[in-house]
A and B are shown apart, each in its own frame.
Chain A
Amino acid sequence: MQFMSRERIKDHWREQRIFFFRALAAGIIAALLILLLVSRLVVLQVFNFEHYSDLSRGNRIRIEPIPPIRGLIFDRNGVVLAENRPAYQLEMVREQVPDVESTLKRLTEAHLIRETDLAGIRERLGRTRKFEAVPLRFRMSDEEVARFAVQRQHFTGVDIRARLARHYPMGPRAVHAVGYVGAISNNDLQRLDPTAYAGTSHVGKVGVERAYESSLHGRVGYRQVLVNAQGRALQTIENNPPVPGKDLRLSLDARLQATAFDALDGRRGAVVAIDPRDGGVLAFVSTPGFDPDRFGAGLSHEEFAALNADPDKPLFNRALRGNYPPGSTIKPLLGLAGLHHGATTPGHSTFCPGFFQLPGREHKYRDWKREGHEHVTLFDAIVQSCDVYYYEMALELGIDRIHAYLASFGLGEASGIDIQGEKPGLLPSREWKRSKYARPADQAWFPGETVITGIGQGFMLATPLQLAHVTATLAARGRRLQPHLLAAIIDPANGALEPAVTQPLGSAGSDEPGYWNLILAAMEEVVHGERGTARAIAPQSYRIAGKTGTAQVFAIAQEEEYEAESVEERLRDHALFVAFAPVDAPRIAISVIVENGGSGSSTAAPVARAVLDSFFEEPES
């Protein structure tokens, strides 16, 4: 075998010789490497000695970051939603301050920094690099600037600098969509590259500001400066300017946004409007709002505590995270489901006596109209919002088919809008109930629960965003498009536009156009028909298709503590309204929720009308 023939006898002399030559080769290579190293040292220490000596002796080099200018945010028509304004801030360079603690103490006594900010300031002092200015106080008032100016000589190493601060012209009206920036916290540092944020004090915390942080931020620049022994900059050697962040154009329409916010008139609620043709979000309102500028300036502890403790929860983004029972607004969808699965037919008629009973049971499921709607078809049941018809149909459909059909419209899952923190709502199913409850007795799904699911009550929950998305899908006859706030990213250097891509989410509902015609016609009748629940808002100049909803809130009332006088108001039903317009070629779909607003027709529908009026009115110019 070849194997055997290759076996050799160990030859010690030969091996030693091999080793010797290899060691010699290694030695030669090592010598060459040492030669390389030594010549490097000679270059550095002999030829470039003067250069490096200058840099090190007397004058020293320091590298200062130059923060980039944050990109602007515009609405679809170019209205500014977020911009940068010069503002004065108090800064400290740790290395230049003889006694940091005493300086901080004296600044506090002079009311130039707040006692409650000290913890945050120490945190920042602990993590900045050498000779980097640490902000002590953002956005000083003119009075404070003047007060510091007269005592400046007492505060070595502390100075006022003009920086750019974020300003939101729409204030509370757009805060839940645009978001805000705040001082970088240790938490933020976990997800940020500290080098890219050298010299930057603020970062997007929520909303568009957070979601598109990487585009808005830009690239940090730096300059090499010569500094004297005290660290004062003497001369700039090299300047590498920062690259400003990209601007954003949103699909949001500032006018609609303002109209919706004002129409809610300080009540707790939300409005979401979506363009059913491309999924662009036209309005995204949650009330009450709060002033985003104050977050950038640095809220005091008390201010933040007050916002947090406000019973109206202004910090809570209802449009994105508010889980509400959809109530009767779900009826058009369930009607489609009933037709699709043959649980009902367009001609099928039911007698509504004002209540419904499961076979062999005593319990009466009431219709909202005590005296009943008498004989109703599916069309009538949507127009007049008959509950009994839907109790019956839901039972016929069964929870499994209801779940599957509604799920195809995206209920029970986040829509995937391009800002963080969306809640998925809740679309109940047998499986969900099994995993939700521990006791086997609670795990079973009861027919009564199917019955009330038929009118969007019971376990089912949806966010205003989801309801707007579903309505947009109805308007587009089943074509689902992912909602998005971004319209385009703009490079401010050359104006190059990078448009947002609309993500199709497939199609939902039925292939039978007749079913769509019936349901959408019924929704039009809700607004424009003689017996429609929202007939009060019917406009003359354009046609709306809509659906009212009224959701019981007992669950919420049990969960939370309220002050005695407000209890009654907080026990009222939530008012809901969903709509799209114009009926024949929909350009806007909208959902409105007014917490404890009473009935959808009287409270929520007028809000939608106001927004739609603003939409169809010619833009002011």
Chain B
Amino acid sequence: MIFDDASGFRDTQRLSIVGRVLRRMHVDAVLLSALLTVAAFGLVALYSAGGQDADMVMRQGARIGIALLALLLVAQLPPGVLRMWSPWVYLGGIMLLVAVLVTGDIGQGARRWLDLGVVRFQPSELMKLAMPMMAAWYLHDRSLPPSTGQVFIVLLIIVAPTVLIALQPDLGTALLIAASGLFVVLLAGLRLRLIAIIGGLMALGAPLLWYFMHDYQRQRVLTFLNPERDPLGAGYHIIQSKIAIGSGGIFGKGWLNGTQSQLEFLPEPDTDFVFAVLGEEFGLFGLLGLLGVYIFIVARGMFIASQGQDTFSRLLAGSISLTFFVYVFVNAGMVTGLLPVVGVPLPLISYGGTAIVTLMAGFGILMSVHTHRKLLSR
């Protein structure tokens, strides 16, 4: 199913009417239906996780609507245009990140927001797309695999925004954005030797990272390594979350019947820990089903990437898909106690934030890559 329209654009006449309209709108129906499936599942879960608050579900629904508009908008832009814009988007993002450090609003002890009068805006969201765009733009007309010097320049492109975001401080986002840049280099064919060197440098950089971490971030890492260390603080989240998931069993307790979440034992059930609510109420089957759709989305994304007609499209689409996978894995890993609590939401499901708009805009890029292909004579 993922690969069924590998040659779809060659024989358009075989598509249904709906398919043809969607193709005209530069929408990939397969990807879109998977995304909508997850989002709908998310709204159902939020109703339960958020204390059965219909208004909250409506607000989230509205956000998904806006996000879909962003997806449509971005999908209209051909990859060539996106490529031309890349450096400017990136530079603008860097400037906004600097602005946020200087003047940004402080929310919960960190400077992440920029107040534009009408809307408050997180420049790190923009960077989530600008980073892989810039990296792909730089490598676009180089001969691949990239040389050591070129890799070094891409690393600089990655480090600048990463440091700026880590200073906010928002370490989780910084690392994820760095990952999206690294994926571009990896997909471009980074030599194994360089991978080893970069890996070594990162291992050396870990103590440095520790030095720059805020106390609460260090606590999280230490608590991850030994949750018993802090059962009253951060360890509490993990203990309660494991109880929620484990007590869900194979089939779950049923929608609205999760005692851990309904009785508010579980912290942040509607945002970072919504995965645990799903696990408690829908059980192993529910989670496997959800993971299945997620994997389908990633696979479809990688398929679209491999069909991309130029280096830029391939690298960008590949990076966006892999980053999406990382979001899913990091959140699920954190909630199940595999990874430290890093505050990454479950994509398309967790309540709130502008993250969902960015996410959908990213999928808009994938659709643009897939639907703007021209017939090539081979």
Contact = CB atoms under 8 A, between A and B. Distances in A.
**How would you classify the secondary structure of chain B's contact residues: helix, strand, loop or mixed?**
helix
B259 A48 contact: no
A220 B229 CA distance: 11
A232 to B, nearest CB: 15
B147 A6 contact: yes
A52 interface: yes
A45 B284 contact: yes
Nearest to A56: B247
A282 B249 CA distance: 67
Given A9-B143, A56-B260, A27 B302 contact: yes
A23 B333 contact: no
A51 B143 contact: no
Interface in B242-264: 242-250, 259-260, 263-264
B187 interface: yes
Contacts of B246: 44-45, 48-49, 51-53, 55-56
Nearest to A18: B189
B327 interface: no
B76 interface: no
Interface residues of A, number: 49
Contacts of B188: 18-19, 22
B249 A45 contact: yes
Contacts, number: 139
Given A37-B338, A49-B246, A220 B259 contact: no
B186 interface: yes
Nearest to A53: B247
Contact of A41 (B239, B244, B247, B284): B284
B247 A57 contact: yes
Given A63-B231, A63-B236, A26 B322 contact: yes
Contact of B232 (A9, A27, A44, A220): A220
**How would you classify the secondary structure of chain A's contact residues: helix, strand, loop or mixed?**
helix
Contacts of A20: 306
Contacts of A37: 291, 329, 332-333, 336, 338
Given A23-B318, A26-B186, A53 B249 contact: yes
Nearest to B280: A56
Contacts of A224: 231
B316 to A, nearest CB: 12
Interface stretch (A28-36, A72-80, A157-165, A362-370): A28-36
Contacts of B288: 38, 41
Given A22-B187, A45-B284, A52 B242 contact: yes
Nearest to B236: A63
A30 B287 CA distance: 17
A42 interface: yes
22 contacts: A14-B144, A15-B189, A18-B145, A19-B314, A26-B186, A26-B318, A26-B322, A30-B298, A30-B325, A34-B291, A37-B333, A44-B245, A44-B246, A45-B279, A45-B284, A45-B287, A46-B249, A53-B246, A56-B259, A56-B280, A60-B265, A224-B231
Interface of B: 141-145, 147, 183, 186-189, 230-233, 236, 239, 242-250, 259-260, 263-265, 279-280, 283-284, 287-288, 291, 295, 298-299, 302, 305-306, 311, 314-315, 318, 322, 325, 329, 332-333, 336-338
Interface of A: 6-11, 14-16, 18-20, 22-23, 26-27, 30, 33-34, 36-38, 40-42, 44-46, 48-49, 51-53, 55-57, 60-61, 63, 65, 129-130, 194-195, 198, 220, 222, 224, 240
Q: Which 5 A-B pairs have the closest CB atoms?
A: A52-B246, A56-B247, A18-B189, A195-B233, A8-B143
